[in-house]
Amino acid sequence: MQQITITTPDDWHLHFRDGEMLGETVPATARCFSRAIVMPNLVPPIVNAKLAMEYKNRILNARNEGSRFEPLMTLYLTNQTSQQDIIDAKQASVVAAKLYPAGATTNSAEAVSGIEALYPVFEEMQKQGMLLLVHGEVTENHVDIFDREKVFIDQYMAKIVKDFPALKVVFEHITTRDAAEFVLSSSHKVAATITPQHLLLNRNDLLVGGIRPHNYCLPVLKRSTHQNALRKAVASGSKQFFLGTDSAPHAKMAKENACGCAGCYSAWSALELYTQVFDELDALDKLEGFASFHGADFYGLPRNTSKLTLVKQQWTVPETVTLPNGEAIVPFFAGQAVNWKLA
């Protein structure tokens, strides 16, 4: 196949950041996605309806003239989150709340320790029909970083899903065969997002021939058996898997560092890279479901009605993207060839 036309997709997990960065990140995503689930891990985090609405307005104002891109807002769960916070957020059309185990990733210092303390909040979310989005990794020092997702499933995820059978749960950016199997063995109230980097790469791409800080994200890339399990999951066409880029920009200096931070800024190439993966898997007929239908259906939102076309044509991802303030970001797949291009 040399070209493919699909319903305009949505990105069900990304990080726009704030301030001047929005002038870069919002148009980059809006070039091909109609809506996006916006992560709340700002400093300070988005912990209530008021902060979410103010952030939403800053995102709307960063759109290009005439753009109808729609940000879907989320709340950051902390040990202080109350049931009233959930009620207020739902009323303000916040669609989901994000659970970060404390210390799991960028700006998660304020997140939750002792997940059971949040059970009244989960109860309220279940009642209000608000989705629970989960960064599924334990953070205890003694647990090997490559095992943290699997241990989280065994210690927390299985229990949350069992104790709240009517709560819709998205297992975000899954990276292991264990997580894919867990989702498939759960009810249709449980789904997962999968990033382009976890479909394209494995931990060799992080560590062989030198450390590659721009491939470092959390959860960390796993061995190829896990990568292949994720590829199989998306190629199956299961409605329980959908597109979430986890596009997460960091300044070049912050990644090319003795203690480089986690996150891949994929907004400029993610859709094209997903298309490349589905093409490699001989599963282009499953791309539209993954990118444009399964997420909207799971969230209970209307599917988009517009279309876009991708053509099989090689292009190279730029080496850097420059922010309005002159700061450089190295995009995911920088300097590498991509086989599909937005028409």
Residue type, 311: V
| Nearest distance in Å: CB 65, Zn ion | 29
Per CB under 6 A, the list member of 124, 246, 272, 288 interacting with ligand NCD is 246
Q: How far apart are CA 261 and CA 110, in angstroms?
A: 17
Amino acid at position 317, single letter? V
Q: Give whichever of 149 and 246 is closer to Zn ion, judged by the CB atom.
A: 246
Catalytic residue among 11, 85, 178, 246: 246
Cβ contacts of 2 within 8 Å, gap of 6 or more: 311, 312
Buried b (16+ CB within 10 A) or exposed e, 133-148: bbbbbbbeeeeeebeb
Is 262 among the residues that bind ligand NCD (CB under 6 A)? yes
The least CB distance from residue 220 to ligand NCD, in Å, is: 8
Examine the residue annotation and report whether 163 is marked as an active-site residue of this protein. no
Least distance between ligand NCD and beta carbon 147 (Å): 17
CA distance 115 to 112: 6
Identity of the residue, 173 or 286, whose beta carbon is nearer to ligand NCD in the bound complex: 173
By CB under 5 A, the count of residues binding Zn ion is 1
**Of 196, 263, 289, 331, which one interacts with ligand NCD (CB under 6 A)?**
263
Contacted entry of ligand NCD, Zn ion, none for residue 106, CB cut-off 5 to 8 Å set by kind: ligand NCD
Q: Where are the beta strands (DSSP E) in the chain?
A: 3-7, 11-14, 35-38, 70-76, 96-99, 131-134, 169-171, 190-194, 241-243, 307-316, 321-322, 328-329, 337-342
Q: What tokens were used for 186?
A: 């759960």
- Asked whether position 246 contacts Zn ion by CB under 5 A, the answer is yes
- Rule CB under 6 A: which of 214-233 touch ligand NCD? 217-218
Q: Work out the burial of residue 18: count CB atoms within 10 Å of its CB; fewer than 13 is exposed, 13-18 middle, 19 or more buried.
A: middle
Q: What is the largest CA-CA distance in the chain?
A: 52
Would you state the structure tokens that stand for residue 210, as one six-digit string?
Answer: 């030198």
Would you say 304 and 332 are in contact if contact means Cβ atoms under 8 Å apart? no
- Selected binder of ligand NCD within 73, 248, 271, 287 (CB under 6 A): 248
| 100: nearest Cα among 109, 87, 91, 90 | 109
Three-class DSSP category at 94: coil
In the complex with ligand NCD, the residue whose CB is nearer, 248 or 317, is 248
Does position 29 interact with ligand NCD (CB under 6 A)? The reply is no
Q: Name the residue nearer to Zn ion (CB basis): 244 or 289.
A: 244
Q: Is 149 in the site for Zn ion (CB under 5 A)?
A: no
Between 242 and 293, CB nearer to ligand NCD: 242
Contact with ligand NCD (CB under 6 A): which of 56, 135, 148, 198? 135
Choose which of 7, 25, 41, 81 interacts with ligand NCD (CB under 6 A): 41
Min separation Cβ 262 and ligand NCD, Å: 3
Burial (0-12, 13-18, 19+ Cβ within 10 Å), 11: buried
Residue 41, contacted partner among Zn ion, ligand NCD, none, CB below 5-8 A by kind: ligand NCD
Rule CB under 6 A: which of 101-130 touch ligand NCD? 105-106
Q: Which residues bind Zn ion (CB under 5 A)?
A: 246
Q: Which residues bind ligand NCD (CB under 6 A)?
A: 15, 41, 105-106, 135, 217-218, 246, 248, 262-263
Active site residues: 246
